[in-house]
Amino acid sequence: MHITIGRTQLLTRTKLAGLLLMLLGGQLVSAQQPSAPKFRPPPHWSGRAAREPTFQHQYVFFDPAEDTLVIRVPPNSDYVKSGKPSMIRYELHNRLVPTIRSAISQENEGYQYVYKVSNASAAKDSIRIWSLIVPAGNDQLKVNSPPTWGGATSVPAIMRQVELPEEPLGRSAMWIQDNPNRMVAPGTSQNQFELRSTCKPGFTTALFSSGTLVNLDQELPVEVFDQLKFYDDPTWGKIPALTFGPMFCEGTSERRIAENFLAGSRRLVELNEIAPSSPFVSDVLRALETGGRVAFHQPKEGKELEVFRALQMSLGLRIETGRK
C-alpha cells in the first residue's frame, strides 16, 4: 500500500499483503540501468549556515546525524501565514545498527543461502523489514522465512545497489514482521532467513528498515515537496549492508563474476570488515585483478571465510598453501 505525499510515495506500516501490492505495482525498469541514486539527498542542517544566501531557497535538510528530517517552510507561504510552524522536524526511525551473516551451501539443483540478521545494542529502532537485492532476471528463486515472518519477492527492477553503485538495478527478496514483540530489537538476532536458487553467489546489498516512515503534513507547500524527490529512490530510509546472494545465473561470464567480487572485496576493506594486510585478502585481491584462481593463505573465520566460500562456488577459487 502507498500513501501519496505531494509527488512522493511512501511505504506505511502495513500487512504483508499491502507490502506485496507495493512491490508488484512499481514501474518496470531495465535491469541494465545504473544503480546510482537518481536524486541527491538534502544538505545537512547547520543552524546559522543553513540561513546563508546559498541556502535561501533550500527548504529540506537532514540533521547532521541523518536520523531527522528538518523542514524550513517558506516564510511567505500560506502554510506559515495560517499560523502553522515555520520549522518542522520529522524523526526518520532509521536508527538501526544491522549486521548480516550468510551461510551458503551447494545443493543438487542449485544453492541454499541462509542468513542471520542482528541489530546491535546501540540501535534505537527495531528491524521490521529487510530485503536482499537480486538480479531482475532471477526467476528461479524460493523464499523461506523464520516462524511468524513473511517473505516474498518483487517483480520490478527498481532497487539500486547502495553498496555497489556500478551494479545494475535489481529486484528484492524481502522479509517482514508485523508483531512488535518478534522484530529484531536492539541487542537481538534472528536467523533462518533462507533463499534457494540455481544462481551462483555474488556480492549484493541488504537493506534494513524499521518500517516506520515519516508522515508528512499534506498541506506543506509544493516547494517543499519538490525538494523531497529523493524519496523516489526506493532505498530511502533503509540502512544498507554488504552481503552475498544469488547473483549469477546460467550464462554469466567469469569476467562479470570477477568484477563483482573485486568491487565487493574492496568495499569490505573500506567498511573495515576485512583487512588489506591479511595474507588471504591480499591473495584474493591479486587473483581477482589478474584472473587467477588460487589463494596461498587460509581465510580467517568470519567474513574472510564467507568470501572464500562464495568465491569457491562461483569462480572455483582454491587454497594452495606452501607455494606461490
pLDDT in tens, 230-246: 888 888 889 999 999 99
Given the C-alpha cell 541527491, which residue does it identify? 40
pLDDT in tens, 158-169: 899 999 999 999
Domain(s) of CATH 2.60.40.290: residues in the chain: 2-41+94-248
Angle among Cα 321, 259, 107 to the nearest 5 degrees reads 65
pLDDT in tens, 94-128: 999 999 999 999 988 899 999 999 999 999 999 99
Q: Go through the chain and tell me how many residues it has.
A: 324
Query: Does residue 192 come out as left (phi exceeding 0), alpha (psi in the -120 to 50 range) or beta?
Result: left
Fold that domain 2-41+94-248 belongs to in CATH: Immunoglobulin-like (2.60.40)
Q: What is the mean pLDDT of residues 134-139?
A: 79
Given the C-alpha cell 556500478, which residue does it identify? 166
- In DSSP terms, which residues pair with 172 in a beta bridge? 133
In which band, very low, low, confident or very high, does the pLDDT at 279 lie, cut at 50, 70 and 90? very high
CB atoms within 10 A of CB 312: 17
